[in-house]
């Protein structure tokens, strides 16, 4: 799965997230999502993750769970930045492991 | 409304499916067994409620078709009556998986879908065996105690999302679930109720109708037992 395809879906999800929540989360790999210096509250992170999971399901026909034990046990949290999130999504899609 | 009922192949779940279909609602049902489709507004998915992948797939298909879910009824459940000393771990695991893990998975996935519309109703199933602390039902009652805690805490967590979560605790009702309970044991149990008789399917649907009606948007985190416990 090419990374840019996942970036497109994540950015599309951020557009939807920004619109629904009247936010202005920046679409850049370095944007800090969650944790120290993060732009999102936990409930906002959940909202964004749900948008992304649904868009991946719609566009790539992959029914994935981004939040999992595996996600929690990564040495770098997948939820740190947009880049870490995209890399993690690519990993679980490739492994078909959810 | 779009209504999802687990364990809808027989017993209370089957009755509830027919009840809501007869009112013109669209009903999604599931159970491990396959059943013949008997109504144009009913679709059945064979799955185990504790199978996360299968559950996610079911929600994905509801979302793609209707973009929403109004009501989830977590009815699927199993029981086993046995003295604690005669209860294998496998039995405990099966009961917890179906009654608790299943209810949890459906609550979680339903809330993701309901959250989008900022409204939704979840009804879970407990039993009078829990407050009555019935001997021989330790594992079954414990699994339903877990469902009750899940109900009360998810009611708090889901309230900001516009979703209510409540539970119904039926008395004995004639279904496959209780057909092997000896009649004497059944009579002893029923005698503990304020109204000493078995319940009916209609007693259950009456409570669920109340939980899901629009005026009940301020009712959440409640456990309602039939029969006067
Ligand atoms: N009847 C009573 O006296 C009574 C009293 C108090 C509470 N309750 C509660 O009411 C609910 C319904 O009970 P009931 O009396 O209608 O029971 P039932 O007649 O035995 O029906 C149970 C339903 O759940 C389904 N089911 C069981 N395990 C499942 C699994 N792992 N995955 C998917 N579906 C599963 C069954 O279908 P498959 O076998 O095809 O999977 C069936 O459709 C339960 O939660 C029960 O604890 C019943």
Where do the structural domains in chain B lie, given as residue ranges? 2-225
Residue A96 has pLDDT above 80, yes or no: no
* pLDDT tens sequence across B154-206: 999 999 999 999 999 999 999 999 999 999 999 999 999 999 999 999 999 99
Pick from B12, B134, B186 the residue to mutate for probing ligand 1's pocket: most ligand atoms within 8 Å of its CB: B12
Return mean pLDDT, chain B.
97
- pLDDT at residue B26, as a whole number: 98
Residue A95 has pLDDT above 90, yes or no: no
Label residue B30 by pLDDT band (50, 70, 90).
very high
Atom of ligand 1 nearest to the CA of B204: 10
* pLDDT tens sequence across A5-35: 999 999 999 999 999 999 999 999 999 999 9
DSSP A34: S
* pLDDT tens sequence across B89-107: 999 999 999 999 999 999 9
Chain A CB within 8 Å of residue B115 CB? yes
- Give the residue from B62, B67, B68, B112 with the most A CB atoms within 10 Å of its CB, the best one to mutate: B112
**Which CATH number covers residue A55?**
1.10.1200
Check if the beta carbon of residue B54 is closer than 8 Å to that of residue B6. no
Interval between CA B90 and ligand 1 midpoint (Å): 18
Range of the domain at A23: 3-97
- pLDDT at residue B9, as a whole number: 98
Number of folded domains in chain A? 1
Q: Average pLDDT, stretch B26-44?
A: 96
Q: How much is the pTM? A: 0.95
DSSP element (H, E) containing A11 = helix A3-21
Residue range B2-225, CATH number = 3.40.50.720
Residue A97 has pLDDT above 70, yes or no: no
Residues ≥6 apart with Cβ < 8 Å to B91: B80, B82, B139
Label residue A98 by pLDDT band (50, 70, 90).
very low
Name the percent of chain B lying above pLDDT 90.
98
Ligand 1 near B93 CB (within 6 A): no
Chain B CB within 8 Å of residue A65 CB? yes
- pLDDT at residue A38, as a whole number: 95
């Amino acid at each position: 799965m090419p990374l840019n395809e996942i970036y497109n879906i994540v950015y599309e999800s951020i557009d939807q997230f920004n619109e629904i929540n009247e936010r202005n989360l920046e679409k850049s790999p370095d944007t800090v999502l969650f944790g120290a210096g993060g732009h999102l509250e936990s409930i906002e992170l959940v909202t964004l993750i749900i948008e992304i999971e649904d868009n991946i399901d719609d566009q790539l026909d992959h029914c994935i769970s981004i939040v999992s034990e595996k996600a929690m046990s990564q040495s770098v949290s997948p939820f740190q930045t947009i880049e870490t999130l995209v890399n993690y999504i690519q990993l679980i899609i490739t492994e078909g492991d959810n | 409304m779009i209504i999802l009922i687990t364990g809808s192949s027989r017993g209370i779940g089957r009755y509830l499916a027919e009840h809501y279909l007869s009112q013109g609602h669209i009903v999604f049902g599931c159970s491990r067994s396959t059943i013949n489709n008997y109504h144009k507004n009913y679709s059945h998915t064979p799955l185990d409620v504790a199978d996360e992948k299968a559950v996610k797939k079911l929600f994905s298909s509801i979302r793609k078709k209707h973009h929403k879910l109004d009501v989830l009824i977590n009815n699927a459940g199993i029981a086993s009556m046995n003295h604690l000393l005669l209860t294998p771990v496998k039995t405990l695991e099966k009961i917890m998986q179906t009654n608790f893990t299943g209810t949890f998975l459906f609550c979680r996935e339903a809330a993701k879908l309901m959250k989008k519309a900022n409204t939704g109703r979840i009804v879970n199933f407990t039993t009078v065996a829990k407050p009555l602390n019935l001997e021989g039902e330790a594992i079954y009652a414990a699994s339903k105690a877990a469902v009750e805690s899940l109900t009360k805490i998810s009611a708090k967590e889901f309230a900001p999302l516009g979703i209510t979560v409540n539970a119904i605790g039926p008395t004995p009702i004639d279904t496959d679930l209780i057909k092997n309970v000896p009649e004497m044991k059944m009579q002893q149990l029923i005698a503990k109720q304020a109204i000493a008789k078995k319940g009916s399917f209609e007693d259950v649907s009456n409570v669920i109708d109340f939980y899901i009606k629009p005026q009940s948007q301020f009712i959440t985190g409640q456990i309602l037992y039939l029969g006067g416990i």
